[in-house]
Structure 1
Amino acid sequence: MSEHAGSAGGRAAFGANGAAAVSAVPWGRLPAEVVDPLRPHIDGVAREMIEWIQQRIPEYARPIDSNYGRKMWNAVRRAVSDFLVVATSPDASWEPLRDIYAEIGAYEARKGRSLESLQTAMRLSGQVAARRFTKDATRLDWSQETLGMLTESLFAFLDAISEAAAEGYARVHAGPGDRRDHLRARLHALLTGDGLADRVEITRLARSAGWGTPSTIAVVAVRGPGNAPPPVLPPPVLADWRSHAPSLVIPDPDGPGREQLLAGLGGLRAALGPTVDLSRGAVSLRWARRALDLADTGKIRADGLVRCLDHIPTLVAAAGLDLIESAIPQRLAPLMDLTPAQRDRLVPTLLAYLENGRNAAAASQHLNVHKQTVRYRLASLEDMFAQDLGDPSRHLELLLLLHSWQHLIEHSDP
Structure 2
Amino acid sequence: MGRSSSSAASDFPLRDVPVGLAEPLRPHLEAAALEMVQEIQGLVPEYARPADSRYGRRMRWAVEQAVRLFVDAFGRQDIAWDAVTRIFERIGAHEARSGRSLDGLQTAIRVCGQVACRRFIKDARRLGWSLDTLGLITESLFVFLERVASAAGQGYARAQGELAGERERYRGRLRDLLVMDPPASAEAIEELARSAGWQTPRTLAAVAVRPDPDRAVPVLPPAFLADWHAPAPYLIWPDPDGPGRDRRLAAIGTARSAAIGPTVPPARAALSLRWARCGLALIERGVLPGKEPLRCLDHLPSLVAAQSEELLDVALGNRLAPLMALPPHRRDALSRTLLTYMECRDNAVAAAERLLVHEQTVRYRIRRLEEVLGGVMTDPDRRIELLLLLHHLVRLDPGDRRLSPAGRGRAEGPLPPK
The interval holding the TM-score normalised by the smaller chain is 0.5 to 0.7
d(CA) in 2 for partners of 1:413, 1:246: 33
Shift of 1:325: 0.4
**2:408 equivalent in structure 1:** 413
SS in 2 for 1:280: helix
Given the superposition, is the C-alpha separation of residues 262 and 375 from structure 1 closer, same or farther in structure 2, using an over 3 Å criterion?
closer
Shift of 1:225: 4.1
The answer (yes or no) to whether the contact 2:217–2:255 under 8 Å persists in 1 is no
The answer (yes or no) to whether the contact 1:237–1:261 under 8 Å persists in 2 is no
The answer (yes or no) to whether the contact 1:291–1:315 under 8 Å persists in 2 is yes
Matched, 1:317 2:305: yes
Counterpart amino acid of 1:310?
A: D
Shift of 1:300: 1.6
TM-score (norm 1): 0.56
Shift of 1:217: 0.8
**1:365 equivalent in structure 2:** 353
Q: Please, which of 238, 254, 266 is the counterpart of residue 225 of structure 2?
A: 238
SS in 2 for 1:279: helix
Q: Please, which of 209, 214, 217 is the counterpart of residue 222 of structure 1?
A: 209
The answer (yes or no) to whether the contact 2:218–2:255 under 8 Å persists in 1 is no
**1:201 equivalent in structure 2:** 188
Matched, 1:276 2:255: no
d(CA) in 2 for partners of 1:267, 1:230: 8
Shift of 1:175: 5.7
The answer (yes or no) to whether the contact 2:210–2:255 under 8 Å persists in 1 is no
**1:188 equivalent in structure 2:** 175
Consecutive unaligned residues of structure 2, counting only runs of 5 or more, are: 1-160, 410-418
d(CA) in 2 for partners of 1:385, 1:341: 17
Consecutive unaligned residues of structure 1, counting only runs of 5 or more, are: 1-173
d(CA) in 2 for partners of 1:181, 1:264: 21
d(CA) in 1 for partners of 2:343, 2:213: 40
SS in 1 for 2:396: helix
Q: Deviations over 1:277-299 (max 9, x none)?
A: 11011111111111111111112
Shift of 1:227: 7.6
d(CA) in 2 for partners of 1:339, 1:208: 63
**1:110 equivalent in structure 2:** none
The answer (yes or no) to whether the contact 1:233–1:262 under 8 Å persists in 2 is no
Given the superposition, is the C-alpha separation of residues 175 and 242 from structure 1 closer, same or farther in structure 2, using an over 3 Å criterion?
farther
d(CA) in 2 for partners of 1:254, 1:245: 24
d(CA) in 2 for partners of 1:354, 1:227: 42
SS in 2 for 1:286: helix
Q: Deviations over 1:6-31 (max 9, x none)?
A: xxxxxxxxxxxxxxxxxxxxxxxxxx
The answer (yes or no) to whether the contact 2:211–2:255 under 8 Å persists in 1 is no
Given the superposition, is the C-alpha separation of residues 244 and 269 from structure 1 closer, same or farther in structure 2, using an over 3 Å criterion?
same
**1:396 equivalent in structure 2:** 384
CA RMSD of aligned residues (A): 1.8
**1:306 equivalent in structure 2:** 294
**1:327 equivalent in structure 2:** 315
Q: Deviations over 1:294-347 (max 9, x none)?
A: 111112222221211111111111111000000101211111222211112111
Report 1:115-126 matches (<5 A). Answer: none
The answer (yes or no) to whether the contact 1:222–1:271 under 8 Å persists in 2 is yes
The answer (yes or no) to whether the contact 2:226–2:236 under 8 Å persists in 1 is yes
The answer (yes or no) to whether the contact 1:224–1:245 under 8 Å persists in 2 is no
The answer (yes or no) to whether the contact 1:218–1:281 under 8 Å persists in 2 is yes
TM-score (norm 2): 0.55
Matched, 1:289 2:274: no
> When the two structures are aligned, how many residues end up with a matched partner?
241
Shift of 1:361: 2.1
d(CA) in 1 for partners of 2:186, 2:346: 47
SS in 2 for 1:262: helix
**1:248 equivalent in structure 2:** 235
Shift of 1:271: 0.8
The answer (yes or no) to whether the contact 1:197–1:280 under 8 Å persists in 2 is no
The answer (yes or no) to whether the contact 1:224–1:230 under 8 Å persists in 2 is yes
Q: Deviations over 1:89-137 (max 9, x none)?
A: xxxxxxxxxxxxxxxxxxxxxxxxxxxxxxxxxxxxxxxxxxxxxxxxx
Given the superposition, is the C-alpha separation of residues 176 and 213 from structure 1 closer, same or farther in structure 2, using an over 3 Å criterion?
closer
Shift of 1:176: 6.5
SS in 2 for 1:387: helix
Shift of 1:384: 0.9
d(CA) in 1 for partners of 2:250, 2:354: 31
Shift of 1:386: 1.6
Shift of 1:228: 5.7
